[in-house]
């Protein structure tokens, strides 16, 4: 992989500095609503016993767009489309979210998307606020000790990326090994200054098998592409700033702890 300094032949130093300073940025909650870019980390199974079969192998990426159709509760459904095991994206912006799934109750707990470790956040479950505090304080409320004696939190860190795929802006959520893989990638390159190829690799720990995402710098952006990223990041920042403090817990989450806010950012 080329050093990040090599991109100066494609993008001028002033634009590189703008890209570097804009990733990540401001504090505050967002009212950004985007289609989703997802990834199957494990095989998707249908049926049980002898009738069980793999319908989609681990490592496949997919998009989800909200349709005009609604379920029995009046909530809009999502159209899912598989797009293969390799994608090329422009990563514009990164944010954070806390999430937890309780297998016993089958309930999701989630914070709003946030940007700074000193923000005071609500935690929501079933559309009700169940706790409030900084990310560290909230994670401490759900501490436990695993079998190896290591202290952990059931409340997971998730990375929220805003990315461009084929000219469309998506929200891409990362967790676990895929998130750590991305964190390693950010130490090697100025992420928004590159076209990024995302693939996956097989992982195994005991009886657990999964695929984690692998991020690779495909090529540096051209000057025009870089200026377009700067413009889009500016739109994202303005939208976040405009929506600070405007969350109302009664209508911001669906049953899975996902945001259902309706304002779109300019693309």
Check residues 182 and 6 and name the one with the higher pLDDT: 182
Residues contacting residue 105 through CB under 8 Å, at least 6 positions apart? none
Q: Are 221 and 193 contacting, i.e. CB atoms less than 8 angstroms apart? A: yes
The pLDDT of residue 261 is 32
Closest CA to 223 of 1, 2, 13: 13
Quick: pLDDT tens for 212-236.
999 999 999 999 999 999 999 999 9
The pLDDT of residue 33 is 85
Asked if residue 24 has a cis previous peptide bond (ω within 30° of 0), the answer is yes
The pLDDT of residue 12 is 82
Q: Is the pLDDT of residue 251 over 80?
A: no
pLDDT (average), residues 85-94: 97
Domain limits for position 121: 11-34+84-242
Residue 78 lies in a domain: no
Quick: pLDDT tens for 155-212.
999 999 999 999 999 999 999 999 999 999 999 999 999 999 999 999 999 999 999 9
Least confident among 146-150, 174-178, 229-233, 260-264: 260-264
Half-sphere exposure for 174 (CA within 13 Å, toward CB): 22
The pLDDT of residue 240 is 86
Residue 73 lies in a domain: no
Residue 250 lies in a domain: no
Q: Is the pLDDT of residue 267 over 70?
A: no
Residue 60 lies in a domain: no
The pLDDT of residue 255 is 33
Sign of CA dihedral 119, 24, 154, 124: positive
The pLDDT of residue 263 is 31
Structural domain count, the chain: 1
Where b means 16+ CB within 10 Å and e means fewer, 55-83 reads eeebbbbebbebeeeeeeeeeeeeeeeee
Residue 157 lies in a domain: yes
Q: Is the pLDDT of residue 8 over 70?
A: no
The owner of tokens 């998707």 is 44
Closest CA to 195 of 171, 174, 225: 225
Mean pLDDT over the full length of the chain = 85
Q: Three-state SS for 213?
A: strand
Q: Is the pLDDT of residue 256 over 50?
A: no
Q: Is the pLDDT of residue 154 over 90?
A: yes
The pLDDT of residue 14 is 81
Do the strands 107-110 and 121-125 form a parallel or antiparallel pair, or are they unpaired? antiparallel
Integer Cα distance of 37 and 56 in angstroms:
16
**Residues of the chain with pLDDT > 70: what percent?**
84
Residue 192 lies in a domain: yes
Residue 267 lies in a domain: no
Q: Is the pLDDT of residue 23 over 60?
A: yes
Q: Is the pLDDT of residue 260 over 90?
A: no
| pTM for the model | 0.79
Least confident among 12-21, 95-104, 241-250: 241-250
What does the radius of gyration of the chain's CA atoms come to, in whole angstroms? 19
Number of other residues whose CB lies within 10 A of the CB of residue 192: 24
Residue 187 lies in a domain: yes
Q: Is the pLDDT of residue 252 over 60?
A: no
For the chain, how many residues are written? 267
């Amino acid at each position: 992989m080329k050093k990040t300094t090599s991109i100066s032949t494609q993008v001028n130093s002033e634009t590189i500095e703008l890209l570097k300073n804009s990733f990540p940025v401001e504090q505050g909650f967002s009212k950004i609503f985007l289609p989703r870019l997802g990834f199957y980390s494990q095989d998707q199974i249908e049926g049980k016993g002898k009738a069980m079969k793999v319908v989609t192998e681990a490592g496949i990426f997919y998009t989800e767009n909200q349709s005009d159709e609604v379920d029995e509760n009046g909530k809009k459904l999502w159209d899912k489309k598989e797009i293969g095991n390799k994608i090329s994206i422009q990563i514009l912006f990164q944010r954070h979210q806390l999430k937890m799934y309780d297998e016993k109750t089958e309930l999701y707990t989630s914070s709003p998307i946030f940007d700074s470790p000193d923000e005071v956040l609500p935690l929501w479950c079933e559309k009700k606020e169940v706790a409030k505090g900084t990310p560290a304080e909230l994670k401490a409320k759900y501490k436990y000790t695993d079998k190896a004696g290591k202290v952990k939190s059931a409340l997971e860190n998730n990375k929220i990326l805003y990315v461009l795929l084929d000219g469309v802006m998506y929200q891409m959520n990362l967790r676990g090994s895929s998130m750590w893989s991305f964190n390693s990638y950010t130490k090697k390159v100025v992420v928004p200054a590159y076209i990024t190829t995302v693939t996956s690799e097989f992982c195994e720990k005991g009886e657990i098998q999964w695929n984690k995402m692998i991020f690779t710098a495909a090529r540096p952006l051209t000057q025009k592409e870089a200026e377009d990223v700067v413009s889009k990041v500016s739109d994202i920042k303005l939208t976040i700033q405009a929506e600070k403090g405007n969350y109302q817990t009664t209508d911001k989450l669906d049953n899975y702890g996902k945001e259902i806010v309706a304002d779109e950012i300019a693309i």
